[in-house]
């Protein structure tokens, strides 16, 4: 029986028929037993002899691929493929697929939810109330705020669409989007940072984009939300700017090292979630369905 490996932690939890469908195609399915992102040596052990891989966000390097000689297809259950050495995969004749559209609405809705949570300090007061502290903390309206989106692909555009009814001013910065869209301002990153009350990040790279220089450009009292990639924001600098009160607050769904155990979790003016941008049941099911279809297509299994 031909073998495939699935590394995402919740695959099939809400629709077991997808796993059953793979088995009906004559495929042995190996699932991630660790309940977290797998490490390289764990992935090599799990995917040994596998012809297909439905992958999460784990690093898939050239060195790793060379240790999986039977692998023919990698189907990312998610948007980005920056965790995969695409050149090495191409040279090894491994087909790469992803599911770019499926999680868009889920990530966009989470972004808006985090913005509202930050502005009204919902999570902070919830924590205080559970500790028998009754503090009515003053928040802020989303109405009239200047919201800047760094990255204006599928998710960025959907966030802008969802924010419009709130009466926000919206601008974006994206070197790959040339045309200014009706009703939205297109700015370079430096001008965007100086303009925003709220910065949301929607990029597909993991390089440092927001560090000391960028935080200095932002106005005092601004908020930051990142639901895109861990590593984009310098977390050590962010800690300083939240600790000293220069930034009013931040919300991070992605972090450089996950699971996260760093000092940011000690602060009251930050919300940290465990990389759950796509974790809306409807979106997750669609991602998994597309990931399986892509895998079977790549393996040429009807």
Reported as type and span, the H/E element at residue 251 is strand 249-252
H helical segments located in the chain: 17-24, 40-46, 62-66, 86-91, 104-120, 122-130, 154-163, 189-195, 212-217, 235-243, 281-299
User: Dmax over Cα atoms in the chain, in whole Å?
Assistant: 61
Could you tell me the two tokens for 198? 């709220």
Catalytic residue from among 229, 284, 286, 288: 229
Residues facing 298 on adjacent strands = none
Q: Is 161 a catalytic residue?
A: no
Q: Residue 265 carries which DSSP code? A: G
CA 248 to chain centre: 22
CB 151 within 8 A of CB 203: yes
CB 174 within 8 A of CB 156: yes
CA 52/CA 4 separation, integer angstroms:
5
Catalytic residue from among 41, 161, 190, 258: 258
Q: Is 258 a catalytic residue?
A: yes
Q: Is 284 a catalytic residue?
A: no
Catalytic residue from among 275, 284, 286, 288: 275
Tell me the catalytic residues. Answer: 229, 258, 275
């Amino acid at each position: 029986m031909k073998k495939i490996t699935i590394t995402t932690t919740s695959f099939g939890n809400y629709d077991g028929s997808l796993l059953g469908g793979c088995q009906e195609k004559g495929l042995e399915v190996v699932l991630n037993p660790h309940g977290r992102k797998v490490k390289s040596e764990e992935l090599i052990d799990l995917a040994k002899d596998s012809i297909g891989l439905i992958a999460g966000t784990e690093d898939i390097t050239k060195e790793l691929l060379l240790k999986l000689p039977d692998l023919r297809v990698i189907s990312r259950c998610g948007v980005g493929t920056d965790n995969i050495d695409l050149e090495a995969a191409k040279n090894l004749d491994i087909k790469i697929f992803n599911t770019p559209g499926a999680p868009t609405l889920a990530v966009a809705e989470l972004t808006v939810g985090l913005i509202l949570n930050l502005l009204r300090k919902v999570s902070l007061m919830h924590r205080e109330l559970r500790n028998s502290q009754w503090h009515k903390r003053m928040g802020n309206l989303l109405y009239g705020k200047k919201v800047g989106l760094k990255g204006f692909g599928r998710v960025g555009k959907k966030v802008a669409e969802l924010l419009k009814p709130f009466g926000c001013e919206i601008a974006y910065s994206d070197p790959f989007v040339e045309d200014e869209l009706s009703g939205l301002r297109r700015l370079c990153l430096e001008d965007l940072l100086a303009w925003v009350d709220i910065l949301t990040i929607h990029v597909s790279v993991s390089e440092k984009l927001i560090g000391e220089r960028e935080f200095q450009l932002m106005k005092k009292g601004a908020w930051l939300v990142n639901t895109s990639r861990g590593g984009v924001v310098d977390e050590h600098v962010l800690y300083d700017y939240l600790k000293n009160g220069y930034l009013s607050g931040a919300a991070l769904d992605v972090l450089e090292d996950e699971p996260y155990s760093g000092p940011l979790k000690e602060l009251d003016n930050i919300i940290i979630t465990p990389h759950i941008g796509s974790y809306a049941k409807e979106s997750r099911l669609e991602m998994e369905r597309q990931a399986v279809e892509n895998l079977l297509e790549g393996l040429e299994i009807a």
